[in-house]
């Protein structure tokens, strides 16, 4: 019995050491995974590539000289985009007041039904790879740009009370009086 | 329980037995927790490693299966992957003039391939700043797209950096065969024809 207990104690001690090493290894892999998922240039103050595209009705779209732009990645089938809609609509109201241009994109063409709204363009296709600045697989995702395509605010996932307030403040700060 | 020793000694032995049993139980519980923790860490570690492999995979192909679409430069309309099951599509980036992968290069590859297998279609993505014009009177063997959706555009951009093209087979295929864009049009044409014929023999690209 004593021998068995001793062996079990050693096994526990061994497993504690192994688990500690495995835990450190797991954290390292997770950190690498996180940096692999994060687009390289997605930093506030960084440049967003100027792009044009084709909207959901097949019309060519070219950016105007708006003082600010809101890029929103969304899809009709995205559950969290639906839950986030009231917050996004509130941001849209502020964006309209600030005369921003709002560009909605879906990860795949055909994932967004046509929904005409003031100052909002829904694009099916883009002519530039936005994968270096957007995480194209993530919806909802919201990026606020100034008139010179500089990233001023980045939000992945749904808005919280705080992020909605800060995004609205950013849009208001970009408004032209 | 029998105990012939003085009562106080007997109580001590009983206490010791009790403590030993308690110690053994604690060790067994600790062992169980350690094994469970090891299992959880191993499972999470392996799945994180798999995700990392996928995230850093260098051969991401644009999704196919009827969802392959874009804006056609020539027709000015939407281009969608044909749904006929026999249709094979070669998808590629149109490179700079004079380079392997230029418009002239792919025109020649498409012409060579379609002489042997007319059902194979060629679809090129003409990125901003690239020249995708034809010579006057030249017959066009390709569809030329100016834009694609976010995911396809990202995958094509990655493919351009790796000098890759993709071969899709119709609607029934769930995967694309990557091609390395070689310098020689004839060799690339033969490779495409081989992939097509092999996929016809096996039923998928």
- How confident is the model over A79-96, as pLDDT tens digits? 999 999 999 999 999 999
The Cα B86–Cα B121 span in angstroms is 11
The Cα B33–Cα B54 span in angstroms is 31
Interface predicted TM-score of the whole assembly (ipTM), two decimals: 0.74
The Cα A52–Cα A55 span in angstroms is 10
Question: CB neighbours of A142 closer than 8 A, spacing ≥ 6?
Answer: A70, A71, A72, A73, A88, A91, A153, A154, A155, A159, A167
List the single residue in A with minimal CA-CA distance to B25.
A5
Determine which helix (DSSP H) or strand (DSSP E) holds B192, and give its type and residue range.
helix B185-202
The Cα A121–Cα B186 span in angstroms is 44
* Cβ within 8 Å, pair B153-A107: no
Mean pLDDT of B127-136: 75
List the single residue in A with minimal CA-CA distance to B77.
A58
List the single residue in B with minimal CA-CA distance to A127.
B147
What does the pLDDT read at residue B59?
44
What does the pLDDT read at residue B106?
92
Residues A19-42 have pLDDT tens digits of: 888 888 888 888 877 766 555 445
Between the alpha carbon of residue B149 and those of residues A54, A73, A107, B24, B181, the distances in Å are 9, 12, 7, 62, 23
**Contact by Cβ (8 Å): A70, A171:** yes
Q: Is the pLDDT of residue B85 over 50?
A: no
What does the pLDDT read at residue B46?
85
**A-interface mutation test, from B145, B147, B156, B160, most A Cβ less than 10 A away:** B147
Q: Look up the pTM and report it.
A: 0.69
pLDDT band at B205 (very low <50, low <70, confident <90, very high): very low
Position with higher pLDDT, A158 vs B66: A158
Q: Is the pLDDT of residue B58 over 50?
A: no
| Nearest CB partner across the interface for A125, out of B31, B37, B148 | B148
Q: Is the pLDDT of residue B65 over 80?
A: no
Residues A37-79 have pLDDT tens digits of: 555 445 889 899 999 999 999 888 999 999 999 999 999 999 9
Position with higher pLDDT, A101 vs A132: A101
What does the pLDDT read at residue A126?
92
* Cβ within 8 Å, pair A125-B147: yes
Question: CB neighbours of B48 closer than 8 A, spacing ≥ 6?
Answer: A26, A29, A30, A33
What does the pLDDT read at residue A1?
64
Residue B91 structure tokens:
């998808």
| Beta bridge partners of residue B88, listed in sequence order | B120, B169
Q: Is the pLDDT of residue B141 over 80?
A: yes
Assess B157–A contact: CB distance below 8 Å, yes or no.
yes
What does the pLDDT read at residue A166?
95
CB-CB neighbours of A25 under 10 Å:
14
* Cβ within 8 Å, pair A109-B67: yes
* Cβ within 8 Å, pair B151-A136: yes
**Quick one: angle between helices B103-116 and B185-202, nearest 10?**
40
> Please, where are the H alpha helices in B5-132?
7-55, 103-116
């Amino acid at each position: 019995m004593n021998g068995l207990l001793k062996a079990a104690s050693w096994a526990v001690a061994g497993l504690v050491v192994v688990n500690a090493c495995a835990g450190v290894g797991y954290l390292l892999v997770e950190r690498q995974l996180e940096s692999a998922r994060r687009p390289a240039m997605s930093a506030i103050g960084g440049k967003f590539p100027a792009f044009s595209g084709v909207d959901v009705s097949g019309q060519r779209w070219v950016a105007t000289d708006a003082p600010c732009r809101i890029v929103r990645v969304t899809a009709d089938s995205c559950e969290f985009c639906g839950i986030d809609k009231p917050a996004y609509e509130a941001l849209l109201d502020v964006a309209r007041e600030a005369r921003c241009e709002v560009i909605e994109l879906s990860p795949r063409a055909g994932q967004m039904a046509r929904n005409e709204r003031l100052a909002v363009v829904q694009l099916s296709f883009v002519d530039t790879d936005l994968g270096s600045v957007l995480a194209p697989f993530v919806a909802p995702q919201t990026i606020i740009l100034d008139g010179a395509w500089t990233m001023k605010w980045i939000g992945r996932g749904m808005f919280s009370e705080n992020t909605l307030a800060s995004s609205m403040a950013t849009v208001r700060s970009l408004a032209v009086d | 329980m029998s105990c012939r020793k003085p009562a106080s000694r007997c109580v001590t032995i009983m206490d010791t037995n009790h403590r030993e049993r308690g110690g053994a139980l604690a060790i067994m519980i600790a062992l169980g927790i350690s094994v469970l923790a090891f299992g959880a860490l191993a499972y999470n570690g392996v799945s994180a490693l798999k995700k990392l492999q996928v995230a850093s995979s260098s051969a991401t192909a644009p999704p196919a299966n009827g969802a392959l679409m874009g804006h056609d430069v020539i027709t000015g309309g939407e281009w969608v992957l044909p749904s006929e099951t026999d249709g094979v599509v070669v998808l590629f980036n149109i490179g700079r003039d004079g380079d392997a992968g230029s418009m002239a290069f792919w025109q020649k590859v498409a012409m060579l391939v379609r002489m042997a297998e007319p059902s194979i279609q060629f679809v090129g993505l003409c990125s901003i700043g690239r020249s995708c014009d034809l010579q006057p009177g030249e017959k066009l063997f390709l569809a030329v797209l100016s834009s694609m959706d976010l995911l396809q555009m990202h995958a094509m951009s990655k493919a351009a950096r790796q000098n890759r093209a993709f071969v899709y087979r119709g609607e029934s295929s769930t995967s694309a065969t990557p091609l390395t864009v070689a310098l020689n049009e004839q060799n690339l044409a033969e490779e495409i024809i081989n992939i097509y014929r092999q996929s016809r023999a096996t039923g998928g690209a």
